[in-house]
Chain A
Amino acid sequence: MFKGETESRSAFVSAGPSGSAADGQDKQAAGSASRARKPLQGHIGFIGLGHMGTAIAANLVAAGREVIAYVRRAEQMEKLAALGLKPTTDITECMTVNSSSPCCPTMPPFARSYSAARISVPMGSPSV
């Protein structure tokens, strides 16, 4: 199994505006109260631009991030560029941008390609 088995339930905390996990259900409106956010710094590599990923990546752009978006089909690039993303068909560009930003690795073999200084966001739907 996985390593979390021995962790106590009390370790679960919520960082959101609504407080505890238990009362998150009925406080949907609370999210709108925390919109005064400082712009994010740095690039983000983003893999997986489907229905969910595209919406999320567009919001990261709106929050001030530069998002390098990997697409498999070049015809997708125009649509993503129109949202302010920087599309690429070269997946390594999501991992080798020279900045301190996070990225999203989907498969273990990619792990070695990432820089520890960067954040990468994998949003695909691998069947593993």
Chain B
Amino acid sequence: MSSIVIDEPVSPNVILLAERSGRVEYQGEVFTIYFGTIRLAIPLWRRVLHSPESSRGPSEQNISDSVFHSVESLFAKQLSGIRGIERIFVRKDDDFFRVWVVVPTMDLALEDQVYASQLVFMDRFKDIPFDFTVIFREGKDAASIRPSGARLVYPTGL
């Protein structure tokens, strides 16, 4: 990390080491986005117990996953409101978000709604690079379209 800011604990025994953070207002809600790590602050008395857990000492957990979940839920919330979208996949590559939107066929009206949403996201999250792809299913089996490593965020439960 180039610079470290120790922020407020996010839960007991945990210290958040944030490389950078930003507040983003989106549809009336304020989201705090952190890039950094969570350091588990294990009390000294636990470390000396030599249990398998404590012997490893304080551990770090990448919190980019929590950022990912926040942003992907926004993708799902906004894009799924566009009638005609069949599936939405999201993958985070480092700080880079890739979004795939599956539509049944080439439809300019539908596409342009997706592109308008894309621009809104790019406005809201200027610091986060996005890469949007619209996939035209064109008769292919929907289940056969699943970008490698991507999470299906809409519809849920498939």
Do these two chains interact? no
Residue numbers of A with Cβ under 8 A of B are none
